[in-house]
Amino acid sequence: MSDTITLAAETRDRVGKGASRSLRREGRVPAVIYGQNKEPSAIHLEEKALVKALMTGHFMNSVIMVDGQRTLAKDVAFHPVTDRPTHVDFFRIAADATVTVAVPVVFADEEESPGLKKGGVLNVVRHELELVVDASNIPTEITVSVAGKDVGDTIHISEVTLPQGATPAIEDRDFTVATLVAPSALRSEGAADEAEDAAAAEGASEA
């Protein structure tokens, strides 16, 4: 489960581009908290604290306490040149809320995959899974086992063990998470073999 992140914030007295630029020069990042049918709150955060939180790797799928309010980060804007954060949108959530989050996927048991042992390649279709989960129990990552998988096999969401209470946001199909494919060298050799077989068969029929 992702740890709760806490960020100190101060209320913004002024809004607009000029005020935002002034805050950034002071090492602050403008932000807004919205949702739950309440008025949006214009705030600003310490840039160093925000960058530290972003570096955890799970900022976008963690509960974040901001200015005493329980939130999820919905969007972080970055400067196109310096890559410094320039604005953050937070969404208020209740303690018992159900939320949709993107959770990173990690693959395990590679040494137990016959396909990988023979040189196959794991083709990851979804690096993240959109899950509907309890806001108090957001997983940091989802582990997908490739044990027993051979070249040509497909891993569907129905094969993935999800945390208790978590369900896929996509409910209308058993979508693909990853496939195990032959390396290009093997594929080209296979195509050449097929071509030779076809030519031999053609020659035999002409004879």
At 137, is the secondary structure helix, strand, or coil?
Answer: coil
Is the pLDDT assigned to residue 23 strictly greater than 50? yes
Q: What is the pLDDT of residue 2?
A: 62
Q: What is the pLDDT of residue 180?
A: 95
Sheet holding 69-78, edge to edge: 5-7, 64-66, 69-78, 85-92, 28-35, 38-46, 9-11
Comparing 42 with 194, the larger pLDDT belongs to: 42
Is the pLDDT assigned to residue 200 strictly greater than 50? no
CA quadruple 181, 183, 188, 192: dihedral sign: negative
Is the pLDDT assigned to residue 201 strictly greater than 70? no
pTM here is 0.67
Is the pLDDT assigned to residue 206 strictly greater than 50? no
At 8, is the secondary structure helix, strand, or coil?
Answer: coil
H or E stretch covering 154: strand 154-156
Q: What is the pLDDT of residue 18?
A: 76
Q: How far apart are CA 42 and CA 64, in angstroms?
A: 16
Q: How far apart are CA 125 and CA 204, in angstroms?
A: 43
